[in-house]
Amino acid sequence: MYTEKVMDHFSNPRNVGEIENANGVGEVGNASCGDIMKIFLKVEDNIIKDVKFKTFGCGAAIATSSMVTELAIGKTLEEALVLTNQAVAEALDGLPPAKMHCSNLAADALHEAIKDYQAKNS
């Protein structure tokens, strides 16, 4: 059902935790299935220097959260804003169709964190 990459990011998630004094925080959730994702950013000179996440949800939710942090680190805010949930799923070599709607909210959480950063620094 899950790809090797999904299982790897679920079993060995990258960038788990919180960033103290994060300058951008985004949280999204899907009430119908219970997945909740929170992304913390440290941005310097328009570059995402650090990203951490906390996710409550299924294995796919944890894997997508882990993958989006890997994709975002080192990108400009503009580059990170064009990351989509589909791009996250593709980076994991796909997700089962039943998991796309609820478990793959990671890019949305990243975008919310960026919007939070921009609102605080405009």
Catalytic annotation, pick one of 39, 89, 102, 113: 102
* Residue 3: exposure state from Cβ atoms within 10 A (0-12, 13-18, ≥19): middle
Catalytic residue selected from 7, 16, 25, 33 = 33
Annotated catalytic, 33? Answer: yes
Instruction: Note if 58 is an active site residue.
Output: no
DSSP 46-79: TEEEEEEEEEES-HHHHHHHHHHHHHHTT-BHHH
Residues assigned a catalytic role: 33, 102
